[in-house]
Structure formats: structure tokens, C-alpha cells
Amino acid sequence: MHLYVYFQFITLITGNTYEHSHLAPRSLKEIMSRFQVEELHLTLTEGQWRHKQWGYPVMDAAPGAELYAWFSPTVTDVNDNWKKLSATLSGLFCASLNFIDAHNTISPKMALTPLGAMNIGLNYTSQFARYASLPREIVCTENLTPWKKLLPCESSHGFASLLNSRLIHNTNYHSIGVHIRKVCSNNECTNYNFEVKQTVALVYDFKIINSMNWSFKLLFGQGLFGGCPLSSSSKIYIDVTSNDTLPFKLSPKPISIIQSQRGGSDTLLAVYVIKADSPMINIGAKHSIDNKFSVTIPPPLHFNRYVLGYGKEFGGIVTEITNNYWAPIDIVLLENAPWWLPIQLSTLRINGEAESSLILKQYYSPGRSRQRPYHLELLMRLPPKSTTTVTIDFEFVFLKWQEYPPDANHGFYIGSALISAKLPTAKNYTSIPIDGTTLESVINASKPWYPAVFRTNGAMVSLPTPDFSMPYNVICLACTVVALAFGPLHNICTKELVLKPSGTSLSLRQRIINLFKKKKD
Amino acid sequence: MALVLKYVVAVLVRYWLIHSDYWQTLANRVEIATPLNSWKRLIEGIYLFEHNIDPYDGDSFHESPLLLISFYSLLKYAPYLLPGVFTLIDILTAYFLYKTAKIFVRILKRNQENNIEVISDESKAMILTNLQLEEVPEYVLSVYLFNPYSVLNCVGMTTTVVQNLLLAVSLWGSVAGHRLVACIFIALATHQALYPITLIVPISILLADVNKGCKKCSYIRTLLVFILCWGFLIFISAYIMNGSYSYIYNTYGFILTVPDLKPNIGLFWYFFTEMFEHFRLLFVCAFQINALILYVVPLTLRFKNEPILLATVLIALSTIFRSYPCVGDVGFYLALLPMWKHLFTFMQQKFIAGCAFIITSVLGPTVWHLWIYSGSANANFFFGVTLSFATAQIFLITDLMFAYLKREFTLKHGSSRQVDGKPAKLVLR
């Protein structure tokens, strides 16, 4: 049993000038215009979202750091802008985003689509999109502090004052993110505004907080002292649907309870409206029965990923995707293997078959050592009520000794695969619709299908290591062997055989006497 | 009859191993398959080619486009023939080596008759008899067919099997005096693996010797034909790859710059794993010069009268020092050694080298398993084994050359090692 807490701060930048910005962070606006970025998504995540047990998050994020962006079609050298963008963000968020380079960047073809307003008729998905993830990145206070500084009230007022790094970094899963997109400012979409969305997702384990009764004080160490005075709206929504099966009481009482019907699933939301001058509020829930276990019903689409094989020579990556729904679901699976994990396309097997009818479209860009990752995208139609297993083999690479990170035997992280799905049902689906901004837009937002991009769990492999302590020895020994050939060959080629009188061998005594005799002479 | 029996047994051994459960393991062994020649890479390359993805775009395939296209059509139209094709290629290699050895024996006999007057009386007993000479081709054949290195290479279905056939045919072509055959096949071999380019020197000497006449014209003609053939092959390959020359970066470039440091039986992998980055280029150049051109000129000047010995030594040296050697290359030059059976009595280190071959061949897979699978050893163990294997090969080859020099000396000056009645030693000066 877990508790999911999601914060979302939206700042709208109106107008195209960034010289005067009193609410929006000028630094972000400058980055957007300087590198001609149309849309930007950055998340820093610690922990692994468990889709099967927890359902779907509002915004999924890969473990570690993840950055993807769309550039304006006027950009001539996208790779250069991308490099500069990641380096700038690296400084802004104190994260190692400067390690993003051509060797871990891909241009997704099908899996990612822009969420903001884009010019019609341009193929944004391939040329101008860049995606990179750094699964090894560790998220800490140093990333949260600059993130908080981007907010209009920083951390002094409003919801952000709850984000006490001592407590939120103790959660099972925490993810901070910045998402910038273009939104139309009028119905004809002749003009646009930038929308800066800053998110925090936290997952608390009831076992760890040692009680199913939660309150702001327990989760954040303090109550909430009113909203940010600069904000136009501050609302708290609490999903109280589970009240039927697992009764609990909210205190203080919510202002209203809204019923939302979306794609065949009913959700009850308790709403609190927070004003800037509201008194301190400590929202909490008290369960009538403590520590009761409930059976979780897995969401319509869930997945698992793991590494096969033993030894450090050959292995395989398996991605298992389960469709629980009664209709087929179309997904795009994006496998992004780093260059030191060369996957072999000829070993791709879907449910053990080489040529599977489940694949509708396939894209593959082979990697190159130290230059480019391996990038595979599969558009698949998952049959109803089935589990599809995608297997691909790889070979372990032997790196140069200076390419191993510190603590080489810790292992190497493989980034998550992306699964982009068109969900036919909104069960467990909490994402904000593409035309919405705040969480209010989720209510009764039924659509024919629901787009979602998920990240599978990452994995880890242990690459074979050389002996780091002996570069000199190896260089000397190998050169000695070369010299062993060079010496005799040099002799053979430059000298000739002759007979040399060799006399009878002298005894040691005789030799010593000879030595003295020589001295006398 | 005995010959046919040998072929049959060799085919059966290969057929059995390819169809045994051990095939997968053998085809993946580091000693047998390198990133350059492995069956797995070939399959990956063909798969990409079939799906309209340029196999030279990424890092998965490093063979020549000619091989790609031939195996692509083979795999498409007759995949069931593949084990048979590999066995056939290996048997053909053995056959051509046998033919080469037969002509070589004739050349050796003729040279011996020509030089009969310079042989000292004492050494008349050392003159090779017909009986001794006639068994040489048989030995060459047996060694190629049954030495475990070439058997394993064939069973692993590596592209080195093809490489060996190309080398064998070009050797046969040159001893038989067929200039075009020799040049085409050595160009094919060079196109595939680059290192055989050194063999053009002994081949042109051989062709000039065999086809009597103007020697210089012969050298120039051979070189010209070779360069034309090689250029044509490079062009044809680009034509196959839709006019793109990017494959050169992935074949020759891959061989020369050694980007993949997967262990093999050579010297490069650990050396360049542990290399300091700013010395890398220097040492890559030094090692490639050592493998490619360093020994060609001096050895040619020394052994210009013995082009076949020169060819043997150059093949062996390039095998030891090339960037991605495999046991198939070792097996090939070992099969050439019985041609020099008459030198064996003059070799001093054959016991040491033989023991080292056996010990390292057993120890290599053992320490590999300890390092990679059980994690109880580290890279140094395998490096040590490959170092001693290279040392053993170097001892063998240098010893062979010393033996040749000693035999020549003995033939000229007699076998008694005396100067003015006093005992003397043979030394290099």
C-alpha cells in the first residue's frame, strides 16, 4: 500500500519578450529562446515507478535524469544546440546533464510526440527531437534547491514550502521535473504562450511511515501555511474513490467532493481550495481499520524488463508487456541500448518468433562504439489478454581502462525502454489531457483513446573489467614479446653465420687465476 | 586411396562437430571467432542488409561487401547447404595446399640439383632423397585437415575459412606460375583482411622465378595486375553498397584502428585496453607497422632465393601480430610448416614451442572461463596465456629461419664444426 503525492506548479509566460518577467523564471525563458527550443522535458528521478502495483503516474519519468526536447525547424545544427542546451541545464539544476553527448542521444521516430502547440505539417518526431537519459544520475537536495528557486514564491510560501528535502528524499520514489511547452493563446492559435510546468511526484510506503493514517505533518514535517500569494489558483485534490473498500475520514472536511467519469472509470475527488491568507492547514486521513491489505488489480497495460544470461560474455534483454484489456492495444516500444551494450537485431524475437506478425513497423539504427547508441523502435499491436515477450541479445564490450567509471565493479546501468501506448480505457489513468493545463481538466475528460508514455524499469549489467593497476606492466610485457620477434629477425637479416673457435671450457679456478694474470700484465 | 580416406575422415569430423551440440559454444569462442570473422556478425550483417539497413552504418559488421553478398545469396537460396559449403571450402584449401606442396617439392628438387656443386662432400648425405620429398605433400595435407586449430576454425564457420582458401589458391597459383590466378586471389584475400598484402612480394618473386624471362618486367606485371584487381574489388564492393565507400572505414579502418578490444589470441586487445590515451595513436601505428611492413623488406633481401619460405614466414608473422588473429590463421601457417620438414633437425626450440602450444591451448579456455564465468580470475590470466602463445609462435618461426640458415651453412661448409682442427661454435656475426 502506497500513497502517491503529486505537486504541479504552472507558470504561464505571456508574450514573446522575456526582458520583463516577474513570475516566470527568466533563466528558463532565455534557454528556450537562445537554443530555439519548442518544447522541453527534464526529470530527475530516484526510484522506480511500479506500474503493476501503483497504477499510472500523472507523468512518468525514467530513473536517473531524463531530458528530451524539440527544437525549432529553423535550427541548422540541432546536435550543437542540444549539446549546449544540456550543458546549460546542467549548470542550472546542478545535475550531470553535461554527460549527454552524441553517444547517448537518440532521435525518437515514433515513441515521443510533442505535447504543446506545433506548426502543422512539419515532422517533429524525427529531425528536431532529441532524447537522452542518464540512469546513473543520483537526485539529491542540490537539484531540488535550484528547482524551487524557479517558482514565483520559491520555497517561502505556498505548496513548495512543504517540500522539505530531508523528508521527501526518504520516500520510495521521488521525481522532480520541469516541462515547458507552447500553448495557444487564442482559439485560432495565431499566437502562443509558454507554459512552464514544474512537478514533484512522491510515493510513500505505508509500511515505512508505519501507519495507514497520513497527514501533512507526517509526510512533510509541517502543515501548509496558505497558498502562494502570487498564484491565481491553489487547489488540492485527494482521490477518495477507495473510501468504499477501505473507509477513511479526511480531516479537515473537504470543501466539495467531485465525481469524475473518464473513459469508463469513476473517480471521486475531494477538493480543498487554498487561499493565500488561509490559516495553517494539516490535511490528514484516518482509516477506521488499520493495516488492512487490499488486492490491487493491475492496470490494463503493464510491463517488466530484465537481463538474461550468465557470465560476462553474452546476454539478452527481455521486455515483457502484458495487455489485460479485452481489445488489442497499439504500442511503440523504444529500446535504447548504450554503445557498450551492442544489441544484435538478428536475434530479435517476439514471443520466440523471428518474424512476428505483431510488429507493424520497425525502425533500427545500429550503434557505433563511442559515438552512437543502438536505437530500436517497434510499433506493435498487442493481442488482448496476453503477454508479449520481446527478447534481444547483446554481447558484452570490453572497454578501455579509462572508460570505466569509478567503482567499475558496481555495474553499468541500462536506461529504461520507452513504451508509448494508445490506451483504450482510462482505468488507472491520471494524466492531464493534452488540451488541459491544471488537474481540473482531468474531470470528465473522456476521449476515444488516451495517450501515455511509460518507462520500464532499468537494468544493470556488470561488464568485464581489466586489471586497473597494471597499465605499465601490460605495456612492458606486450612490447617485450614484440621485441622477442624483432631481435632474432634483426639478427637473421643483418648478420651471417660463422664458425667461432670456442676452446675447452675453463674451470672456475682457472678463470680466477686468468683474471689475476691479466692484472699483473 | 589413403588420400581419399583422409578427405573423408576430415569431412566426417567437421560434419559431426558442426551438427553436434557443441557447435554454438565453438562458434562463440574468443579463440575462434573475433569481431572480424565471427559467424554471429556475418548473420547480423546479412540480416541488416536484408532489411535495407546499411550494415556498415553501425558497428556490427566488419567483413567485405563481397562476402556479405555471397553469403546473403547463399543464406537466401540454400541455407541448408551452409555447413557443407564451409566443409567444402576447408577441404578445397587442403587440396590446394597439397598441390602447392607438390609443386614446391619439384622446385626444391630442381634447386638442389642446380646447387649440387656447392655442397661440400661431408654434407652429401644431407641431400634430400625422392622418398623424403614425396611424403611432404601428404604431411601438409594431413596437418591442414587434422590439426585442431583448422578443424575448430571450420566448425566455428568463421570467414577465416574463406580467407584460408584464398591464400591457398594464391600460393598455388604463384608456384604453378599462373599470374592471374595468384593476383586475383591475393587481391581477394587483401580485400578481405588487409594483412595478406605483404604476400605480394614473395608471390611476385615466385612468379618471376617460375616464368623464366625478364625478372623486372615480371615484378612490374605482377604488381600491376594485383593493384588492378584490388582496385576493381574495392570498386565492385562500393557498387554493391550502392556506390558508398563507407564500408572501407568499417573494414580496413576497423582492422587498423582496433576499436573493439574483445580478447583474442593476439597481442592487441589488452595492450590497447591498458594504453594511455595520448600514446594510443603512436602505439597503434607502431604495432600495425610491425605487423604489416616492418619485416617485409629485410626478410625479402635475406630470403629472396627462397620465396616460399619468405611467404611462410610473412604469413606466420602477420598472424602473430595482426589486430584480430584467430586459431584459423594459426592452423593455416602450421600446415605450411611440413614443407620445411628437412629443417626440423636443425631446430633447437621445437620441443619448447610444441609444449607451449599445447599448454596455452589448454590453459586459454580454462582461464577464460575462470575470468568471465566464475569470476575467480582476472584479465591478467588470459593475457598471460595469449602472451605465451605469441611467444611460442615467435620462437617457432625464428627457429625455423635459423634452421634454414644453419642448413645452408652446413651444406656449404660440411657438418663438422671445426676451425683449424679446433672445436668451434656457429654464431651470428
DSSP letter for each residue of A208-224: HHT-S-EEHHHHHSS-B
The answer for B 84-143 residues in CB contact with A (under 8 A) is: none
Chain A nearest-CA distance from B93, in A, is: 28
Q: How much is the average pLDDT of B54-83? A: 92
The answer for B 359-398 residues in CB contact with A (under 8 A) is: 371-373, 378-380, 383, 387, 390-391, 394-395, 397-398
Sign of the torsion formed by the C-alpha atoms of B113, B119, B123 and B124? positive
The answer for A 441-470 residues in CB contact with B (under 8 A) is: 464-467, 470
DSSP structure string for A75-87 = -S-HHHHHHHHHH
Chain A residues with beta carbon closer than 8 angstroms to that of B44 = 344-346
Q: Give pLDDT tens digits for A302-345.
A: 999 999 988 899 999 999 999 999 999 999 999 999 999 999 99
Do B423 and A368 count as a contact with CB atoms less than 8 A apart?
no
Q: How many residues does chain A have?
A: 521
Dist. CA A48–CA A480, nearest whole Å: 51
Dist. CA B382–CA A396, nearest whole Å: 17
Chain B residues with beta carbon closer than 8 angstroms to that of A500 = 419, 424-427, 429
Do A485 and B394 count as a contact with CB atoms less than 8 A apart?
yes
Dist. CA A190–CA A180, nearest whole Å: 19
- H/E element, A348: strand A343-350
Contact in structure between A459 and A415 (CB atoms under 8 Å): no
Any B CB within 8 A of A491 CB: yes
Q: Look at residues A307, A429, A17 and name the one whose alpha carbon lies nearest to residue A191.
A: A17
Chain B nearest-CA distance from A454, in A, is: 28
Chain A residues with beta carbon closer than 8 angstroms to that of B392 = none
Q: Which residue has the higher pLDDT, A292 or B83?
A: B83
Query: Given this model, what pLDDT does residue B119 score?
Result: 85
- Reported ipTM: the value is 0.93
Chain B nearest-CA distance from A496, in A, is: 5
Do A374 and B58 count as a contact with CB atoms less than 8 A apart?
yes
Do A400 and B418 count as a contact with CB atoms less than 8 A apart?
no
Chain A nearest-CA distance from B69, in A, is: 17
Do A481 and B28 count as a contact with CB atoms less than 8 A apart?
no
The answer for B 296-355 residues in CB contact with A (under 8 A) is: 298-299, 301-302, 317, 320-321
Any B CB within 8 A of A295 CB: no
Do B274 and A470 count as a contact with CB atoms less than 8 A apart?
yes
CA separation, residue A19 to residues A146, A154, A464 (Å): 21, 20, 53
Of B391, B405, B424, the CB nearest to A481: B391
Contact in structure between A262 and A446 (CB atoms under 8 Å): yes
**Where residue B86 falls among pLDDT bands split at 50, 70, 90?**
very high
Chain A residues with beta carbon closer than 8 angstroms to that of B314 = none
Query: For residue B73, which amino acid is it?
Result: S
DSSP structure string for A401-460 = GGGSPSSGGG-EEEPPPEEEEEES--TT--PPPTT--SGGGGTT---S-EEEEEE---EE
The answer for A 385-414 residues in CB contact with B (under 8 A) is: 395, 397-402
Any B CB within 8 A of A476 CB: no
Nearest chain A residue to B376, by CA: A311
Burial (CB count within 10 angstroms: exposed 0-12, middle 13-18, buried 19+), residue A232: exposed
The answer for A 318-377 residues in CB contact with B (under 8 A) is: 339, 342, 344-346, 362, 364-370, 372, 374
Q: How much is the average pLDDT of B210-235? A: 93
CB pairs under 8 A between A and B: 186
> Grid cell 505548496 — which residue?
A159
Phi, psi values for residue A264, rounded to 5°: 80, 10
Q: Give pLDDT tens digits for A380-435.
A: 999 999 999 999 999 999 999 999 988 888 989 999 999 999 999 888 888 988 88
Do B298 and A489 count as a contact with CB atoms less than 8 A apart?
yes
User: In 3-state terms, chain A is what percent helix, strand and coil (to 5)?
Assistant: 20, 35, 45
Given a cut of 70, the residues of chain A with pLDDT beneath it are 15-20, 120-125, 290-294, 503-506, 518-521
Any B CB within 8 A of A483 CB: no
Chain B residues with beta carbon closer than 8 angstroms to that of A474 = 270-271, 273-274, 383
Task: Pull the grid cell for residue A135.
Answer: 540512469
Chain B nearest-CA distance from A306, in A, is: 19
> Helices B160-176 and B82-114 sit at what angle, rounded to 10 degrees?
30
Q: Give pLDDT tens digits for B175-202.
A: 999 999 999 999 999 999 999 999 999 9
Of A312, A313, A398, the CB nearest to B273: A398
Do B259 and A370 count as a contact with CB atoms less than 8 A apart?
yes
Nearest chain B residue to A346, by CA: B44
> Grid cell 550494415 — which residue?
B55
Do B379 and A467 count as a contact with CB atoms less than 8 A apart?
yes
Chain B nearest-CA distance from A476, in A, is: 9
Chain B nearest-CA distance from A464, in A, is: 7
Chain B residues with beta carbon closer than 8 angstroms to that of A484 = 391, 394-395
Q: Give pLDDT tens digits for B248-285.
A: 999 999 999 999 999 999 999 999 999 999 999 999 99
Q: Look at residues B321, B314, B42, B316 and name the one whose alpha carbon lies nearest to residue B156.
A: B42
Chain B residues with beta carbon closer than 8 angstroms to that of A486 = 290, 294
Do A397 and B262 count as a contact with CB atoms less than 8 A apart?
yes
* Strand-pair category, A412-414 with A359-365: unpaired
**Where residue B301 falls among pLDDT bands split at 50, 70, 90?**
very high
DSSP structure string for A261-287 = EETTEEEEEEEEE--TTPPPB--EEEE
Any B CB within 8 A of A310 CB: yes
Q: Give pLDDT tens digits for B12-31.
A: 999 999 999 999 999 999 99
Of A344, A370, A492, the CB nearest to B302: A492
State the CB neighbour count (10 A cutoff) for residue A257. 14
Q: Which residue has the higher pLDDT, A16 or B359?
A: B359
Phi, psi values for residue A183, rounded to 5°: -125, 150
Do A466 and B290 count as a contact with CB atoms less than 8 A apart?
no
Of A398, A399, A481, the CB nearest to B263: A398
Chain B residues with beta carbon closer than 8 angstroms to that of A481 = 267, 387, 390-391, 394
> Grid cell 579456455 — which residue?
B365
Dist. CA B109–CA B125, nearest whole Å: 15
For an interface test with A, give the residue of B36, B40, B48, B270 to mutate (most A CBs within 10 A).
B270
Contact in structure between B294 and B320 (CB atoms under 8 Å): no
